[in-house]
C-alpha cells in the first residue's frame, strides 16, 4: 500500500511539454531516496487545465502543482514528499483570486462549475492499467447488461436517458440503436468515430488518452444491444498517444476475457479492431468514414438508406463518437433518470468542450447542458486576457457559427445554438476578442472546408470555392455590395444542395458572421477598411510625428520599405510594405500606427 501517489499528466499537451521526462525524473528521485515502497508515480490522461501544464497532483493532500519543469522535481520530492510540506511557489495560482495559490484542483474556478461524466477518469487513473479502470467500477455496466438486462432493456435505458449524439448532429442515441436492432440481419457492426478534425478540437482525443476502456466497454454494450459481434474504432493516425493506449487497452480487455469469444462466460462474443484514418476531415461524416474502413477513398454516400439499415459492408451499422460512448457506462450504472436530471428539457446530460483562443484558461471542460456561454467564458475560462473585450465564440468548428456578445447569456444546448445560427458540433469552442476580424474568421474556416472537400458533389466542390473567392475579394477591398448579396444567396444554395454534412454546413461561418457582423463586411467593401486591422491588403502602417528618427524601424524592415534621415521623421513606402508588423514591434516610442 502506497502512502503517496504522484499523478503526472500524460495528455498530448503536457506530453509535448516534457511531462514524460518529468515523470522519469520523479521515478529517479524516488529510487535515489529509496522511497519505492511508499511513493507511486502514475501517468494519467489530461487534467483539463491545459493552459498551465505540465500539471502534477500529489495525493493524499491533493496538492495541485502547475507549470512544472524537470529541474523542479528534486525540490518537490525533498520538501513535499520527504519533509511533508507544500511547495507554495509551484502551486497553481488563481488569477481571479488575486494570484493567490490554490491547493486543490477542485478549488479552482476552472473546475467549480464542471460536472465530469465523460471525463470522470481523465487525470484520475493510469489509462494503461485495466485494474485501475476496474477499481473505478469499470466493466460493471457490461456485467450488468450481460447478466441482468436483455438487449431491448439496454436500449430502453439509453432512450430514456435522453442522450443525444455528441458528434455534432445530436441525433438520439437510443433511437439510432433501436433502428439497428430492428434490422433482421445476422451481421451488424458497431463503429466509433474518433476522427476528430475540427480546428481547435481535442475532446475525443483526450478521452481516448485518459480513459480508453470506457469506450471499449460502451461499444461492447452497444454490440450486445443491437446484436453485433464486431466493432471498429476509426481513429486518426495523428493521435499517436491515443492509438497506443487503445492498442494496450484492447489487448488487456482480451486478456481479461472482456473482448473476444464467450465474454465472461455468457456466450456473447464481441471484438474491436482499430482503423487508422489519414486526416481527411470528410471522414468525420458517417458514410465517408465507413467507406474508408472498407478500404476505399473516403467519400459520402447518398442517404437513405441510412447506416442503421445499410452501413459498413452494406450491413446494419451504428456509429457514435467517442464522447457519446463515454457516457454509456455511467447511464447504465446510475440509471436513465440520473443522466436526464442534468441539462435542459431537450438536451440532457453534460457536454465536453475544448476551450481555446483568446481565453485565460484554455483547456478541456465538461459542463451540464444549459450552462451559459458567459459562465464558460468568464467563470470557467477566466475571461479574456490583456484587458480585451469579448467579441464572439465560434462553436461547431467549420460547420458551426459565431456567437456574438449579445448572446453571452444564452444557455448552451443543441436547440439554442441552432436558433442563433451556430451548432454544438463535436465541442470545439474558440473565443475571439476585439482584435479579431470576423470576415477573416469566416475566410479561415472556409479555406479549411474548401481544402477538405472530397469533391464528389458540385455544390460543395465548386460552390464553396466561389464563396472563398467572394471573401477574398472582400478582404482585399475589391468587392461590391452586389457581391455581398450574391455571396449570401450562394450560401443558401450550397446548404440546400450539397450531398453530405460537410457541404451543407460549410457556409455557416459566413452566414453567422453576416448575421451579426454585417457592418464589418460593409466596412471592407464601402470604406476599404478592416476595422480590426487584420486584413493585410486593407491596412497601412504609418509613421507619426512621434518619430525621433532613430532608424531602428528602417534597419528592421525586411524589404527596405522605410527610409529617412537620422533625427528626422522617417517614411514608409506603401508600395513596398508587406505589412509584416516588424516596424511597430521595433519602435520604442509608439511612433508607428496601423490604419
Q: pLDDT tens digits for 169-207?
A: 789 999 999 999 999 999 999 999 999 888 888 899 999
Specify whether the CB–CB gap between 389 and 406 falls below 8 A: no
Distance of alpha carbon 253 from alpha carbon 260, whole angstroms: 9
Helix axes 212-226, 151-161, angle to 10 degrees: 120
> In this structure, are residues 360 and 51 in contact, taking their beta carbons and an 8 Å threshold?
yes
Backbone angles phi, psi at 411, to 5 degrees: -70, 130
Question: What's the start-to-end Cα distance of the chain, in Å?
Answer: 66
Q: Please report the pLDDT score of residue 501 as a whole number.
A: 86
Query: From residue 54, how far is each of 15, 132, 333, 354, 386 by CA, in Å?
Result: 8, 22, 33, 17, 23
With a CB cutoff of 8 Å and minimum separation 6, the contacts of 357 are 200, 393, 394, 429, 430, 431, 432
Largest CA distance in the chain: 89
In 18-146, the DSSP E strands lie at 39-44, 56-59, 63-65, 92-94, 100-102
Residue that the C-alpha cell 448552451 belongs to:
412
Stretch 392-413: mean pLDDT? 92
Alpha-carbon span 378 to 428, nearest angstrom: 17
Cis before 498 (ω within 30): no
Closest CA to 226 of 251, 272, 191: 191
| Residue-level pLDDT at 436 | 96
For range 333-355, the mean pLDDT:
96
Q: Rounded CA gap, 207 and 214, in Å?
A: 9
- What CA–CA distance (Å, rounded) separates 81 from 84? 5
Task: Average the pLDDT over 51-58 and give the result.
Answer: 94
Q: Point out which residues pair with 5 in neighbouring strands.
A: 40, 59
Per-residue pLDDT, averaged over 278-298, amounts to: 91
Mean pLDDT of 336-357: 96
**Residue 97: predicted pLDDT:** 66
pLDDT score at 30:
95
Contacts of 264 (CB under 8 A, 6+ apart): 142, 143, 146, 257, 258
Interacting residues of 578 by C-beta distance below 8 A, sequence separation 6+? 536, 558, 559, 561
Torsion angle defined by CA atoms of residues 417, 419, 422 and 426, in that order, rounded to the nearest 10 degrees:
40
Q: Give Cα 32 to chain centroid, integer Å.
A: 40
Residues forming beta bridges with residue 192, ordered by sequence position: 233, 320
For residue 24, give every residue at least 6 positions away whose Cβ sits within 8 Å of its Cβ, in sequence order, or none. none
Mean pLDDT, residues 433-458: 93
Residue 273, all three cell numbers: 479492431
* Angle between helix 508-526 and 438-452 (nearest 10): 130
Give bridge partners of residue 43 from the DSSP assignment: 8
Query: Measured between alpha carbons, how far is 219 from 313 in angstroms, rounded to an integer?
Result: 18
Which residue do the cell numbers 473476444 mark?
260
**DSSP letter (8 states) at residue 124:** T
Q: Which residues of 403-424 are buried (b: 16+ CB within 10 A; e: fewer)?
A: bbbebbebbbbbebbeebbbbb
Question: Is residue 40 scored above 90 in pLDDT?
Answer: yes
Task: Give the model's pLDDT for residue 169.
Answer: 79
Look at strands 56-59 and 63-65 and give their pairing: antiparallel
Q: How does the average pLDDT of the chain come out, rounded?
A: 94
Q: Report the C-alpha gap between 226 and 178 in whole angstroms.
A: 7
**Residue 168 scores a pLDDT above 80:** no
Angstrom distance (rounded) from CA 205 to CA 209: 6
Reply yes or no on whether the pLDDT at 472 is more than 70: yes
Structural domains in the chain, CATH included, are 4-112 (3.40.30.10), 130-340 (3.40.50.11540), 350-433 (3.10.20.600), 438-526 (1.20.1440.230), 540-594 (3.30.70.20)
**How many C-alpha atoms does 317 have within 13 Å on its Cβ side?**
26
Geometric angle at alpha carbon 107, from 128 and 381, rounded to 5°: 85
pLDDT category, 425, cuts 50, 70, 90? confident
| Cα 139 from Cα 133, distance rounded (Å) | 8
Task: For residue range 575-593, list pLDDT tens digits in order.
Answer: 899 988 899 999 999 999 9
The neighbour count for residue 280, using CB atoms within 10 Å, is 19
Among the listed ranges 165-169, 412-416, 536-540, which one has the minimum average pLDDT value? 165-169
Share of the chain above pLDDT 90, in %: 86
Provide the residue count of the chain: 595
Distance CA 63, CA 82 (A): 15
* DSSP code, position 47: -
Question: Over the stretch 97-143, which tens digit does the pLDDT of each residue have?
Answer: 677 888 888 889 999 999 999 999 999 999 999 999 999 999 999 99
d(CA 152, CA 297): 36
Q: What is the mean pLDDT of residues 561-573?
A: 94
Calpha distance 577→557 (Å, rounded)? 9
Q: Which residues make Cβ contacts (< 8 Å) with residue 457, sequence separation at least 6?
A: 497, 498, 499, 500, 503
Confidence (pTM): 0.92
DSSP of 159-213: HHHT-B-TTTT--BHHHHHHHHHTS--S--EEEEEE---STT--HHHHHHHH-HH
Q: Which residue has the cell 450539397?
A: 498
Region 541-570: mean pLDDT is 94
Band of the pLDDT at 423, cuts 50, 70, 90?
A: confident
More reliable by pLDDT, 442 or 94? 442
Arithmetic mean of pLDDT, 228-239: 96
**Separation between Cα atoms, residue 524 and residue 538, nearest integer Å:** 8
What is d(CA 46, CA 131) in angstroms, rounded to the nearest whole number? 19
- Residue 279 confidence (pLDDT): 83
Amino acid at each position: 500500500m502506497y502512502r503517496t501517489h504522484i499523478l503526472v499528466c500524460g495528455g498530448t499537451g503536457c506530453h509535448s511539454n516534457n511531462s514524460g521526462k518529468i515523470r522519469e525524473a520523479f521515478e529517479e528521485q524516488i529510487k535515489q531516496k529509496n522511497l519505492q515502497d511508499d511513493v507511486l508515480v502514475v501517468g494519467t490522461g489530461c487534467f483539463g487545465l491545459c493552459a498551465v501544464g505540465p500539471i502534477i497532483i500529489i495525493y493524499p493532500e491533493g496538492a495541485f502543482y502547475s507549470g512544472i519543469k524537470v529541474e523542479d522535481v528534486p525540490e518537490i520530492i525533498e520538501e513535499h514528499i520527504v519533509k511533508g510540506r507544500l511547495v507554495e511557489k509551484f502551486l497553481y495560482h488563481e488569477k481571479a483570486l488575486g494570484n493567490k495559490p490554490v491547493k486543490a484542483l477542485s478549488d479552482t474556478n476552472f473546475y467549480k462549475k464542471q460536472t465530469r461524466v465523460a471525463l470522470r477518469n481523465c487525470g484520475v487513473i493510469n489509462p494503461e492499467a485495466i485494474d485501475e479502470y476496474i477499481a473505478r467500477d469499470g466493466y460493471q455496466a457490461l456485467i450488468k447488461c450481460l447478466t441482468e438486462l436483455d438487449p431491448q432493456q439496454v436500449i430502453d435505458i439509453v432512450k430514456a436517458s435522453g442522450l443525444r449524439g455528441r458528434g455534432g448532429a445530436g441525433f438520439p442515441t437510443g433511437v439510432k440503436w433501436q433502428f439497428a436492432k430492428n434490422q433482421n440481419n445476422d451481421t451488424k457492426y458497431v463503429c466509433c468515430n474518433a476522427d476528430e478534425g475540427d480546428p481547435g478540437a481535442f475532446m475525443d482525443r483526450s478521452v481516448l488518452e485518459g480513459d480508453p476502456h470506457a469506450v471499449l466497454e460502451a461499444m461492447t454494450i452497444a454490440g450486445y444491444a443491437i446484436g453485433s459481434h464486431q466493432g471498429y474504432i476509426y481513429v486518426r493516425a495523428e493521435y499517436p498517444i491515443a492509438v497506443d493506449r487503445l492498442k494496450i487497452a484492447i489487448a488487456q480487455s482480451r486478456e481479461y476475457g472482456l473482448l473476444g469469444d464467450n465474454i465472461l462466460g455468457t456466450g456473447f462474443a464481441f471484438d474491436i479492431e482499430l482503423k487508422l484514418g489519414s486526416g481527411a476531415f470528410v471522414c468525420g461524416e458517417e458514410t465517408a468514414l465507413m467507406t474508408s474502413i472498407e478500404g476505399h477513398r473516403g467519400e459520402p454516400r447518398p442517404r437513405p438508406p441510412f447506416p442503421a439499415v445499410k452501413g459498413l459492408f452494406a450491413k446494419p451499422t451504428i456509429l457514435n463518437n467517442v464522447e457519446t460512448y463515454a457516457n454509456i457506462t455511467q447511464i447504465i450504472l446510475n440509471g436513465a433518470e440520473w443522466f436526464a436530471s442534468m441539462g435542459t428539457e431537450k438536451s440532457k446530460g453534460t457536454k465536453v468542450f475544448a476551450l481555446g483562443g483568446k481565453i485565460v484558461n484554455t483547456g478541456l471542460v465538461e459542463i451540464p447542458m444549459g450552462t451559459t456561454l458567459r459562465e464558460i467564458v468568464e467563470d470557467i475560462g477566466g475571461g479574456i486576457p490583456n484587458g480585451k473585450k469579448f467579441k464572439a465564440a465560434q462553436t461547431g468548428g467549420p460547420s458551426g457559427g459565431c456567437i456574438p456578445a449579445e448572446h453571452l447569456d444564452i444557455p448552451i444546448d443543441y436547440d439554442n445554438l441552432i436558433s442563433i445560427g451556430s451548432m454544438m458540433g463535436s465541442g470545439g469552442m474558440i473565443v475571439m476578442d476585439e482584435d479579431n476580424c470576423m470576415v477573416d474568421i469566416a475566410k479561415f474556416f472556409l479555406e479549411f472546408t474548401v481544402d477538405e472537400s472530397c469533391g464528389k458533389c458540385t455544390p460543395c466542390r465548386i460552390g464553396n470555392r466561389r464563396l472563398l473567392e467572394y471573401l477574398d475579394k472582400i478582404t482585399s477591398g475589391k468587392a461590391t455590395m452586389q457581391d455581398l448579396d450574391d455571396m449570401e444567396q450562394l450560401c443558401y444554395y450550397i446548404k440546400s444542395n450539397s450531398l453530405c454534412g460537410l457541404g451543407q454546413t460549410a457556409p455557416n461561418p459566413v452566414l453567422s458572421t453576416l448575421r451579426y457582423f454585417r457592418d464589418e463586411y460593409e466596412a471592407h467593401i464601402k470604406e476599404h477598411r478592416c476595422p480590426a486591422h487584420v486584413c493585410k491588403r486593407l491596412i497601412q502602417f504609418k509613421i507619426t510625428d512621434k518619430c525621433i528618427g532613430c532608424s531602428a524601424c528602417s534597419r528592421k524592415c525586411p524589404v527596405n520599405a522605410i527610409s529617412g534621415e537620422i533625427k528626422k521623421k522617417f517614411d514608409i513606402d506603401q508600395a513596398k510594405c508587406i505589412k509584416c508588423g516588424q516596424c511597430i514591434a521595433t519602435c520604442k516610442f509608439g511612433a508607428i500606427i496601423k490604419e
